[in-house]
């Protein structure tokens, strides 16, 4: 089933994200995670893609396990950075052969081993290029990411939303937001994009806090702000890992409850391959 059909069912959408283990680790580790969280009956499970296209074969393999073994809809991330049209064609063929119907189309980060990477020399310079290319196949339901606090490379908030509309107009059927910790920012972002004519469904990206270093690193990468309430939690439990996790999970649950009361109907939980965390969240929401 294509994911836009799930959103169109008017049901509340809960979805999860997992990531492939490092190449030197057995792939069975993520299969164990999937086996544990599938009983929570998510609407779909997404699988991330490594920087510069690394782990791409594992992304497809894990997506196939989700779809064909676990019986849950899979959303395969696909980045276009460093990829030729031939590369993308091969990936699309492989996804089709595995009965994968849903793609989260992204530009992706440059390869870590190539300093001063030049996007202008790539066949796909932007996510919108990849989206348009996949749309022409008429085989996949396409989603993409959005940034409630603006992409860190954008010159302005206005241009960031204009580019988001370009991606939607190029063939996107649904959006998944980057993580955020201030619900007011997300609600205001929703109002802004709706005024521009972006009407497709959107899931709020929820990242449970496991430790302060994790959050500082993630917010630095994506530009998300840390509200005072969360800063107090990070400071209070910085040296108490167990209590930090409890407080972080509680914060995520509160976020979801508040957003539900604001008529947000889609939630995408970044699991960090921790089924215990996901179970606790779902039991409370």
Q: Are 270 and 17 in contact (CB under 8 A)?
A: yes
Supply angle C-alpha 42, 43, 45, rounded to 5.
70
The C-alpha atoms of residue 176 and residue 159 are separated, in whole angstroms, by 19
Please give the helix or strand (H or E) that residue 157 lies within, else none: helix 157-169
The C-alpha atoms of residue 44 and residue 177 are separated, in whole angstroms, by 15
Compute the residue count for the chain.
Answer: 285
17 is catalytic: yes
Which one, of 141, 123, 132, 128, lies nearest residue 81 by Cα? 123
17, 73, 101, 280: the catalytic one is 17
Q: Are 160 and 196 in contact (CB under 8 A)?
A: no
Per the DSSP assignment, residues forming a β-bridge with 18 are: 47
The C-alpha atoms of residue 157 and residue 171 are separated, in whole angstroms, by 22
Q: Are 180 and 186 in contact (CB under 8 A)?
A: yes
The C-alpha atoms of residue 10 and residue 190 are separated, in whole angstroms, by 18
Phi, psi for residue 142 in degrees, rounded to 5: -115, 130
Helices (H), 8-126: 28-37, 56-64, 85-97
Residues annotated as part of the active site: 17
């Amino acid at each position: 089933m294509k994911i836009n059909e799930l959103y169109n069912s008017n049901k509340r959408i809960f979805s999860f994200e997992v990531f492939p283990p490092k190449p030197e680790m057995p792939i069975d580790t993520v299969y164990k995670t999937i086996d544990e969280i599938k009983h929570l009956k998510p609407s779909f499970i997404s699988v991330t893609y490594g920087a510069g296209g690394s782990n791409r074969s594992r992304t497809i393999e894990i997506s196939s396990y989700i779809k064909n073994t676990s019986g849950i809809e899979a959303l395969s991330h696909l980045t276009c950075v460093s990829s030729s049209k031939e590369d993308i064609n091969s990936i699309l063929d492989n996804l089709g052969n595995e009965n994968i119907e849903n793609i989260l189309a992204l530009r992706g980060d440059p390869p870590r081993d190539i300093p001063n990477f030049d996007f202008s020399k790539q066949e796909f310079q932007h996510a919108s290029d990849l989206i348009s290319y996949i749309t022409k196949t008429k085989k996949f339901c396409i989603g993409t990411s959005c940034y409630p606090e603006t992409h860190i490379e954008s010159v302005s908030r206005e241009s960031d939303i204009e580019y988001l509309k370009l991606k939607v107009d190029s063939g996107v059927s649904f959006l998944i937001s980057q993580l955020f910790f201030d619900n007011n920012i997300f609600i205001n972002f929703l109002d802004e994009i709706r005024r521009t004519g972006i009407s497709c469904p959107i899931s709020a990206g929820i990242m449970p806090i496991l430790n302060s270093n994790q959050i500082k690193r993630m917010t630095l990468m994506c530009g998300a702000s840390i509200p005072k309430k969360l800063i107090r939690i990070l400071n209070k439990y910085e040296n108490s890992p167990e209590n930090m996790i409890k407080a972080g999970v509680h914060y995520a649950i509160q976020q979801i409850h508040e957003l539900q009361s604001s008529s947000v109907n889609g939630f995408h939980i970044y699991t960090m391959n921790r089924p215990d965390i996901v179970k606790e969240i779902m039991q409370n929401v």
